[in-house]
Amino acid sequence: MGWGDRNRGASHYDAQYLSRNATYYCRAYQIDGYVETRDGRKTVKGIHWIAKPLGDDSLVCYSMGDRRGYINMLTGEQAIAPQYRHAWVFSDCLASVDDDGWIKFVDATNQWHSSTRERATMPENEPRCPAAGSL
pLDDT tens by residue, 58-95: 999 999 999 999 999 999 999 999 999 999 999 999 99
Residue 55 pLDDT greater than 90, yes or no = no
Q: Rounded to two decimals, what is the model's pTM?
A: 0.75
Quickly count: other Cβ atoms within 10 Å of residue 29's Cβ: 8
Which positions ≥6 away from 71 have C-beta within 8 Å?
18, 22, 35, 43, 44, 50, 59, 60, 62, 77, 78, 79
- What integer pLDDT is reported at residue 124 of this predicted model? 54
Q: Per DSSP, what are the bridge partners of residue 104?
A: 97, 115
What confidence tens digit (pLDDT) does each residue in 16-26 have?
999 999 999 99
